[in-house]
Amino acid sequence: MNMNIDPITLEVLTQALISTVREMRATVCRTASSVAIYDAKDFSCGLFDPAARVIAQSEDIGSHVVPMPWSVRSTMEKLGASIVPGDVIILNDPYSGGTHLNDVTIVYPVFRDGRLVFFPAVRAHWSDVGGMVPGSMSGKATEIYQEGVRIPPMKIIEGGRTNEAVLELLLANMRVPEERLGDFNASLAACRVAERRIHEICDRYGVDTLLRASQMDIDRAEKRMRQCIAALPDGVYYYEDYLETFMNDTFEPLLLPLKLTVSGDRMIADFTGASPQVPFPVNSTAAVSSAGVFIAMKSIFDPDAPLNQGSFIPIEIITPEASIVNVKRPAPAGSHGEIRKRVIAAMVGALAQAAPDKVAGDTCRTSFHNLFGGFDTRSGKEWVHYEWSSGGNGGFAENDGPSAMAPIDWGDLVTVQSTEVIESRMPLLVEKSSLATDSGGAGCMRGGLSLARTIRVLAPEASYSLLSDGAIVPAFGVLGGRSGLTVGAWMEKNGKIESFATPGKVAGSMVRQGEKIHIRSAGGGGYGDPAERDIDRVVEDFREGMISRAAAQNVYGVMIDPEGRVDTQATKSRREALQQAVSHFRTVQCADSYERGAISKRRVCRMNPRDAQQRGMAEEDLVELDSRRGAPVRAWLRLDSDVEPGTLPMDSHGLAMLQIQVGDAIEVRELPGPNANIPASSLTTRPRASLVVHDGAGRGHINAAP
């Protein structure tokens, strides 16, 4: 099949397949039953070949489509020899190439002249698939069985006949089964539309011509990505980030290190050293972790061309088995959005060293899964609402980061769910939706703001769960930009606001009628020095409520009088004073800057107690170390009188990430803890998990939460 296809025919066939996927999307939107699918568009469609390669997609969610080849591959490995026309496969098993259990995938074989040629596939978020809490995603699941029904690749339709017994068994273990059945039928209808369109294309151009065009598309996508990689400086680049977990109600950060090797037109992303998997929902699969690498590369270097498997061929991914980036049974795998965003962040941190002009500040850290649900005794029905208030994106060279906007891994997903739809379908009242003031990371280009929402429960009672990350470690800025605000969630009872015991992780908390949940997504990281931000932009942000007067003065150094006018001379003096007040330390060499915890290790910053006292810092504070040459490095403070005042010990790994040498100066900034910028002045703290991390000698260090 070495036929030549002229460029016009090639483009016609390429767009015909993409148009087929778009029609699949329209079918799902018009026929699905769940609000999360038909209104909020939490689903994706794609076309795949028998070799499990993605051939075409459209405005779909990258976090769905990019891992789907693993699902198709698992399907072929298990069922390939037995697949015949009329078969339809269903699966959601993370261990078989899925994302998390809520993402149920329909894989539909299409045959032409007796030959298997394509797999149209739909991956849709079913609002509930069983498990320990309504919505299935618990912030405290300890094994995958608590997250819902696992569906390995199986034939839900065989030879054109639906396996009614299997379908009934699945739906019997899911809340609101009538919605789940509607969502299943919507996915099936979309695949049947794709089957018709594929046959129409083959009728006109021939199946061999279509398959040849698909291969040519893959070849040219591979060529483009190889050119992008070849333009980077050869070298080894490092970065590290953390996932947040609470083991036995004790906070433990889990290390996610990346070694990124660029050699010619190839790249290796190596996550060796990642924390072992844990019985807590922070793990995900190799498919999801690899997708984070691919999404970062495609979005940064080749965003305009259509996506297919060719873009990923020059990139090798190493994910250690039984780690947080390659989970194995029976550990929970619900935290796919959080792992994926940490992988993207690590890629941005590493690429900031190789191509600083191409990167932006970190995005909003988490998919921020908020789950409401229960049984409404007034209507006699079950209900489940899945809320994912979008956060801020990172600032970049040309402009501020978008606020409350889908990040690069979310595609066409609706970012602010419709109040009217929520209130008409659920016993909930959305009392407030607004951008959170001061939530975007400061910078020459500011990070995007987060979304703050207040939801009142109208049913007699409801369950609330939260699976998120970034409640303690915020989104970082780049090139001197500041971090965004952390994720937050609180319950309001009788006018008093209560924090949850484990920030960012909630499992089935009971909410009574009239009580409220306040949620706030994370802000994006800033880009560049805030003191260099255009004064007019600062004033506009202040007038629009994006930043407070205090932030304008104390972060950006812009003095605004009560009438909203800028005091030019005072602003000049204030900016000079802020520059002089920057806390710099001289780096000195040390052998190791890590400290072993109960499960993982994390970076520590050893500082003379006198230096810490002068800066208002304390033991176990979270700080970021910044050379302003890329992304900062995060560490937990250790007071050590053996450290010479004015110096900061740093290992060779840390020096490499910050692109500095021994003796160079770095800036140390304290980061806010959980419950920063609470939504009201009266905060009642429930008995909470201690933010303790054990060092290698078995000692515990406590950071009292505010």
Cα separation, 520 vs 409, whole angstroms: 20
What pLDDT sits at residue 2?
A: 60
Q: Interior CA angle at 319 toward 317 and 324, to 5°?
A: 140
Measure the CA–CA gap between 399 and 107, rounded to whole angstroms.
Answer: 41
pLDDT tens digits for 4-43? Answer: 899 999 999 999 999 999 999 999 999 999 999 999 999 9
Extract the tokens encoding 580.
Answer: 């002089």
Query: Is residue 694's pLDDT more than 60?
Result: no
Alpha-carbon Rg for the chain, nearest whole angstrom, is 25
H or E element in which residue 607 lies: strand 601-607
What distance separates the 2 farthest-apart alpha carbons in the chain?
80
Q: Where are the domains of the chain?
A: 7-220, 582-674
Tell me phi and psi for residue 526, to 5 degrees: -85, 170
Least confident range of 289-298, 572-581, 697-706: 697-706
Q: Does position 706 have pLDDT exceeding 80, yes or no?
A: no
Residues 6+ apart with CB under 8 A from 337: 63, 366, 367, 369, 409
Contacts of 204 (CB under 8 A, 6+ apart): none
Nearest alpha-carbon partner for 299 in 355, 245, 339? 355
Q: State the Cα–Cα distance between residues 442 and 433, nearest whole angstrom.
A: 22
Note the pLDDT tens digit of each residue in 406-463.
888 888 888 889 999 999 999 999 999 999 999 999 999 999 999 999 999 999 999 9
User: Which has the closest alpha carbon to 663: 639, 642, 647?
Assistant: 647
Q: According to the model, what pLDDT value does residue 59 have?
A: 85
Q: For residue range 544-570, what is the model confidence (pLDDT) as tens digits?
A: 999 999 999 999 999 999 988 999 999
Q: Decide: 649 and 588 in contact? Cβ < 8 Å.
A: yes
Is residue 488 within 8 Å of residue 678, measured between CB atoms?
yes
- Residue 574 confidence (pLDDT) above 50: yes
CA geometry: angle at 439 spanning 435 and 443, to 5°? 120
Residue range 604-629: mean pLDDT, rounded: 96
* C-alpha–C-alpha distance, residues 424 and 426, integer Å: 6
Query: What pLDDT sits at residue 223?
Result: 97
**Band of pLDDT at residue 677, cut at 50, 70 and 90:** low
* pLDDT value of position 675: 62
Q: What is the mean pLDDT of residues 367-382?
A: 93
0.95 exceeded by pTM: no
Show the tokens assigned to 463. 């369950």
Q: Per the structure block, which two tokens stand in for 352? A: 């900031």
The span from the CA of 132 to the CA of 510, in Å, is: 13
Does position 168 have pLDDT exceeding 80, yes or no?
Answer: yes
What percent of the chain shows pLDDT beyond 70?
A: 95
Q: Are 607 and 601 in contact (CB under 8 A)?
A: no
Higher pLDDT, 677 or 46: 46
Residues 20, 54, 281, 474, Cα dihedral to 10°? -90
The reported pLDDT for the residue numbered 210 is 97
pLDDT at residue 62 in the model:
84
Specify the CATH architecture of the domain 582-674.
Beta Barrel (2.40)
Instruction: Read off the pLDDT of each residue in 81-86 and give the average, rounded to a whole number.
Output: 96
What confidence tens digit (pLDDT) does each residue in 95-153 have? Answer: 998 999 999 999 999 999 999 999 999 999 999 999 999 999 999 999 999 999 999 99
Convert the pLDDT of each residue in 388-411 to its tens digit: 889 999 999 999 999 999 888 888
3-state secondary structure 510-539: EEECCCEEEEECCCCCCECCHHHCCHHHHH
More confident residue, 685 or 603: 603
Is it the case that residue 695 has pLDDT exceeding 80? Answer: no
Residue 210: how many CB atoms within 10 A of its CB?
21
Does residue 646 register a pLDDT over 80? yes
| Averaged pLDDT for residues 217-239 | 97
Residue 94 structure tokens: 């993370």
Q: Which residues pair with 586 in a beta bridge?
A: 647, 665
Separation of alpha carbons 478 and 396, rounded Å: 9
> For 157-185, what is the mean pLDDT?
97
Q: Which of 165, 174, 198 minimizes the C-alpha distance to 18?
A: 198
Lowest-confidence segment of 251-255, 413-417, 488-492 by average pLDDT:
413-417
Mean pLDDT estimate for the chain:
93
Please report where in the chains the tokens 């940064």 appear, as a residue: 300
pLDDT at 520 over 70: yes
